[in-house]
Chain A
């Protein structure tokens, strides 16, 4: 089976998984407390006459298709979701689609930056500790990383705030940019980065801990292989052996774990956004739940589901790139 067909098969399968999860989401949607029609009509219940209100109510029920059987409702709902009609936010008094772009950019920015930081630090660190395994440096890194990935992110956040924002006020405690700043260009970018420093630092800690250990373990496994011995015997430079021959093969397990980590990172950023008052999707989800603004909640949920499935797709694609054996799979 070729790579293309393998990917196609995986893609069809992912669509199937999406379908199953979307049924689950629809169940959540239907079990949400409160009558959606009452919520939509808002104040008119008190301001209108009872029979006029009842007529309006019935009309809205019909318009929304709530009188139809559940499967029909599901299809309609799914259609809306796929075309970007996520519903009306009672909290922002707007269509949800109009208000999610800014928080989405904030969250994605935060997570991408974290990913970059983590990969830049964790991968070289993992390789170096694998090559110099059991040395003093390796042992130290081992202890530090186990602490790093064990400690809950919100505790790291509290410690970071205490040290870097309260005791030594280097970074701001919360927010995305300085109040009243209307700089452009480089100054604006630097201000944004300055505000992102603390959340990114906190989110990187557990990622660096985990990924370093995985890279190290994968590299050690690979460095024991016969073909590494062969490569060395050929007289290749050690750098070539480590970074070309060994690392490429070590990537296979690393890709798996990295994908899970990235999906978890977005989920975990909910906590971080709530600590640092970062106006991203996670904070929007929590605010939505607290304000009982379920259209927003469901949209956020959809985002996380899509993200998780996209993670799966990316993992599959990455596999076919790094592991030529994948095509042999049936």
Chain B
């Protein structure tokens, strides 16, 4: 019995008439305090603690997945192997206290950093991709170190005698330091640990390189060795600046990097390379850039032109020290690496990967850039937190649309079948049985694999929604049919028939509003099932594919014991979220059912 004042607009005149008939002699005052069935359901539901916790948790996750991607945008095609499998945490820029006012040299590695204080002590912080990085040689072995550089997963350092040391990853020839550098005696001007390669330059302009030759092949053009002033390297290329102020790429292949502007040759004072472009500073303080303009690294801000003293580069950004001692960054700013501080009096800057360290003239350290990842990264160096957000959105979208499809079909089939009865009912119910005897998961797999072969990824996602929707409606159809069978004998249906309402009108405008609660409960539970099926499909690789993220395919990479044991964050977070969501939805469904069906409450 509904409260007269809160009557839903869906209710027709016929049902009103029926209701008034039923409530005939009831005094109006008493009716005011009566609760409508809907109010009772809501009241009971709100008192169900487990269901409410479910509602809160699911709503929270849902809202996060819907709105947070706008604040944490993601480029689905972005990958960076240097950031692969980084553990969760924000400690990458936590410069140790011992270094804070006494810094000699700092260097940014892939997900860790190293530093030297003025007494030659080594500090390491961040997350370490290789356990061997912790085997820092003792001060007895090394003497006083003066320069240090961090690479992908190894460190190179040099002491005051010019002896070079390395630790961390020792494969691919990274530990085979050239003899001349091992014994010392050279004045080392610059060292660098790169992507599985190490480089060193002596004051005489001789350059040495050791490590892997596969990723970076270095060929020295004639007359360059012995005449090198500085070098710069990225994962793709090494370039040197000769003592004559010329930029020379150490390669024999032409590429966007070798396309050096002619007008600057002979006038260059500093050089820096990101992964996609190169930049040079000329003696008048102007910056010239060339290469690919990915992440806007070529867009040098006009206001610093003519004032640049030196340059340093990370993977997709540049940081320049201006002549007045302040710093300026441009390029990719995903991790805040281009938000240079306003401080002045900067003596040197080391930019690398996604972070920067600046050392002021009095030895203070200022850091900005990538602090770490909330939930770590996956095997392709993608931020798990951001992928979880868009993945959740995808999982929920697929689940929701499948449920909408299956519910609409279920209501149509069940409604018509239940109301019409007879041959139509028989036919539709046989159809329902046929669909429900189709083995669900195997058919989803085979359909998505065969039909999804020749279509784009977006069409594929739509296809999966349709497959899930088209195969999961029998349950809801049976339920609707049962409820319609019960409802069609009610007086208000007779009243509607007597008023001459069309059949479709009776089914969908008069009967349907009365069984909508049952449908909602079923759709809720169905939503959980569809999310699960989508995740299972994506998990075994027949659902939504990379680079699109869903909670299911984020777990695909975590199937072997190695990953499960060592990179817990890669499977724990998606698994937890998916688990919490499905448990919440099932709790909500159970709570709704208990609230609606007074019989089930006694259970």
Binding site for B on A (CB under 8 A): 13, 17, 20-21, 24, 28, 31-33, 133, 143, 146-147, 149-155, 158-159, 161-162, 165-167, 173, 216-217, 220-221, 224, 263-264, 266-268, 270-271, 274-275, 285-286, 289, 297, 300-301, 304-305, 307-309, 312
A271 vs B540: C-alpha distance in the bound complex, in angstroms? 7
**SS of B interface (majority):** helix
Do A312 and B437 have beta carbons less than 8 Å apart?
A: yes
A264 vs B441: C-alpha distance in the bound complex, in angstroms? 8
Do B579 and A155 have beta carbons less than 8 Å apart?
A: yes
Q: Determine whether B575 belongs to the interface, using a CB cutoff of 8 Å to chain A.
A: yes
A289-B542 contact given A31-B450, A161-B564, A220-B603, CB 8 Å threshold: yes
A217 vs B565: C-alpha distance in the bound complex, in angstroms? 40
Do B450 and A152 have beta carbons less than 8 Å apart?
A: no
Do B536 and A289 have beta carbons less than 8 Å apart?
A: no
A199 vs B583: C-alpha distance in the bound complex, in angstroms? 22
- Residue in B446, B582, B586, B587 whose beta carbon sits within 8 Å of that of A289 in the complex: B446
CB distance from A276 to the nearest CB of B (A): 9
CB distance from A93 to the nearest CB of B (A): 22
Q: B565: nearest residue on chain A (CB-CB)? A: A166
A289 vs B541: C-alpha distance in the bound complex, in angstroms? 11
Do A309 and B528 have beta carbons less than 8 Å apart?
A: no
CB distance from A14 to the nearest CB of B (A): 8
Q: A269: nearest residue on chain B (CB-CB)? A: B441
Given contacts A21-B438, A165-B561, 9 further A-B pairs with CB under 8 A are A13-B430, A151-B579, A152-B532, A154-B535, A162-B568, A221-B603, A271-B441, A271-B540, A274-B559
Give 12 pairs: A residue, B residue, CB < 8 Å, sorted on A.
A17-B437, A150-B579, A154-B535, A154-B536, A155-B579, A158-B564, A158-B575, A221-B603, A267-B440, A271-B441, A285-B445, A304-B439
Do A308 and B437 have beta carbons less than 8 Å apart?
A: yes
A312 vs B440: C-alpha distance in the bound complex, in angstroms? 15
CB distance from A229 to the nearest CB of B (A): 15
A152 vs B433: C-alpha distance in the bound complex, in angstroms? 26
- Residue in B442, B561, B579, B600 whose beta carbon sits within 8 Å of that of A161 in the complex: B561
CB distance from B436 to the nearest CB of A (A): 9
A33 vs B452: C-alpha distance in the bound complex, in angstroms? 11
Q: A149: nearest residue on chain B (CB-CB)? A: B586
The 9 closest A-B pairs by CB, nearest first: A304-B439, A267-B441, A150-B583, A166-B565, A155-B575, A304-B442, A150-B586, A150-B582, A289-B449
Count residues of chain B with CB under 8 A from any CB of chain A. Answer: 47
Q: Determine whether B254 belongs to the interface, using a CB cutoff of 8 Å to chain A.
A: no
Q: A29: nearest residue on chain B (CB-CB)? A: B450
Q: A213: nearest residue on chain B (CB-CB)? A: B590
Q: Determine whether B456 belongs to the interface, using a CB cutoff of 8 Å to chain A.
A: no
Across the interface, which residues of A come within 8 angstroms of B260, CB to CB?
A: none
Across the interface, which residues of A come within 8 angstroms of B585, CB to CB?
A: 150
CB distance from A253 to the nearest CB of B (A): 13
Q: A307: nearest residue on chain B (CB-CB)? A: B439
Q: B449: nearest residue on chain A (CB-CB)? A: A289
Across the interface, which residues of B come within 8 angstroms of A147, CB to CB?
A: 583
Across the interface, which residues of B come within 8 angstroms of A154, CB to CB?
A: 535-536, 539, 555
Do B434 and A21 have beta carbons less than 8 Å apart?
A: yes
Do B561 and A166 have beta carbons less than 8 Å apart?
A: yes
Do A152 and B536 have beta carbons less than 8 Å apart?
A: yes
Across the interface, which residues of B come within 8 angstroms of A151, CB to CB?
A: 579, 582-583
- Residue in B437, B528, B540 whose beta carbon sits within 8 Å of that of A274 in the complex: B540
Do A152 and B442 have beta carbons less than 8 Å apart?
A: no
A147 vs B440: C-alpha distance in the bound complex, in angstroms? 23
A92 vs B542: C-alpha distance in the bound complex, in angstroms? 22
A286 vs B450: C-alpha distance in the bound complex, in angstroms? 12
Across the interface, which residues of B come within 8 angstroms of A17, CB to CB?
A: 430, 433-434, 437
A221 vs B559: C-alpha distance in the bound complex, in angstroms? 42
CB distance from B7 to the nearest CB of A (A): 34
- Residue in A13, A270, A275 whose beta carbon sits within 8 Å of that of B559 in the complex: A275
Do B532 and A270 have beta carbons less than 8 Å apart?
A: no
A28-B446 contact given A166-B564, A309-B437, CB 8 Å threshold: yes
A220 vs B541: C-alpha distance in the bound complex, in angstroms? 42
A158-B579 contact given A21-B437, A285-B445, A286-B445, CB 8 Å threshold: no
Do B587 and A146 have beta carbons less than 8 Å apart?
A: yes
Q: Determine whether B135 belongs to the interface, using a CB cutoff of 8 Å to chain A.
A: no
CB distance from B50 to the nearest CB of A (A): 8
Do B445 and A289 have beta carbons less than 8 Å apart?
A: yes
Binary A-proximity of B544-585 (CB < 8 A = 1, otherwise 0): 000000000001001101001100100100010011001101
Binary A-proximity of B74-108 (CB < 8 A = 1, otherwise 0): 00000000000000000000000000000000000
Q: Determine whether B454 belongs to the interface, using a CB cutoff of 8 Å to chain A.
A: yes
CB distance from A297 to the nearest CB of B (A): 6
A275 vs B461: C-alpha distance in the bound complex, in angstroms? 23
A33 vs B535: C-alpha distance in the bound complex, in angstroms? 26
Do B602 and A297 have beta carbons less than 8 Å apart?
A: no
Query: For A21, A158, A165, A274, which residue has the most chain B Cβ atoms within 10 angstroms?
Result: A158
A216 vs B603: C-alpha distance in the bound complex, in angstroms? 8
Across the interface, which residues of A come within 8 angstroms of B582, CB to CB?
A: 150-152
Do B450 and A33 have beta carbons less than 8 Å apart?
A: yes
Tell me which residues from 493 to 537 in chain B have a Cβ below 8 Å from any Cβ of chain A: 528, 532, 535-536
A49 vs B453: C-alpha distance in the bound complex, in angstroms? 32
A155 vs B531: C-alpha distance in the bound complex, in angstroms? 13
A1 vs B430: C-alpha distance in the bound complex, in angstroms? 21
A18 vs B583: C-alpha distance in the bound complex, in angstroms? 36
Tell me which residues from 10 to 53 in chain B have a Cβ below 8 Å from any Cβ of chain A: 50
- Residue in A152, A162, A270 whose beta carbon sits within 8 Å of that of B578 in the complex: A152
Do B578 and A158 have beta carbons less than 8 Å apart?
A: no
A92 vs B26: C-alpha distance in the bound complex, in angstroms? 79
Do A158 and B558 have beta carbons less than 8 Å apart?
A: yes
Q: B444: nearest residue on chain A (CB-CB)? A: A267
Do A33 and B528 have beta carbons less than 8 Å apart?
A: no
A21 vs B436: C-alpha distance in the bound complex, in angstroms? 11
A308-B439 contact given A159-B575, A289-B446, CB 8 Å threshold: yes
A289 vs B568: C-alpha distance in the bound complex, in angstroms? 30
Across the interface, which residues of A come within 8 angstroms of B602, CB to CB?
A: 220, 224
Query: For A32, A162, A217, A307, which residue has the most chain B Cβ atoms within 10 angstroms?
Result: A162
- Residue in A173, A217, A224 whose beta carbon sits within 8 Å of that of B561 in the complex: A173
CB distance from A107 to the nearest CB of B (A): 12
Across the interface, which residues of A come within 8 angstroms of B579, CB to CB?
A: 150-152, 155
- Residue in B438, B451, B540 whose beta carbon sits within 8 Å of that of A308 in the complex: B438
Do A33 and B454 have beta carbons less than 8 Å apart?
A: yes
CB distance from B591 to the nearest CB of A (A): 11
Do B564 and A146 have beta carbons less than 8 Å apart?
A: no
CB distance from B178 to the nearest CB of A (A): 42
CB distance from B27 to the nearest CB of A (A): 35
A20 vs B182: C-alpha distance in the bound complex, in angstroms? 78
Q: B562: nearest residue on chain A (CB-CB)? A: A166
CB distance from A32 to the nearest CB of B (A): 6
A309 vs B436: C-alpha distance in the bound complex, in angstroms? 10
Do A158 and B603 have beta carbons less than 8 Å apart?
A: no
Tell me which residues from 225 to 240 in chain B have a Cβ below 8 Å from any Cβ of chain A: none
Do A150 and B528 have beta carbons less than 8 Å apart?
A: yes
A159 vs B576: C-alpha distance in the bound complex, in angstroms? 10
Do B564 and A270 have beta carbons less than 8 Å apart?
A: no
Q: B448: nearest residue on chain A (CB-CB)? A: A289
A309 vs B437: C-alpha distance in the bound complex, in angstroms? 6
A28-B438 contact given A133-B603, A146-B586, CB 8 Å threshold: no
CB distance from A33 to the nearest CB of B (A): 6
Do B434 and A162 have beta carbons less than 8 Å apart?
A: no
- Residue in B440, B446, B453 whose beta carbon sits within 8 Å of that of A33 in the complex: B453
Across the interface, which residues of B come within 8 angstroms of A266, CB to CB?
A: 439
Across the interface, which residues of B come within 8 angstroms of A173, CB to CB?
A: 561
Across the interface, which residues of A come within 8 angstroms of B451, CB to CB?
A: 31
- Residue in B434, B442, B532, B603 whose beta carbon sits within 8 Å of that of A285 in the complex: B442
Q: B531: nearest residue on chain A (CB-CB)? A: A152
Do A146 and B439 have beta carbons less than 8 Å apart?
A: no
A158-B586 contact given A152-B536, A173-B561, CB 8 Å threshold: no
A217-B536 contact given A33-B450, A155-B575, A161-B564, CB 8 Å threshold: no
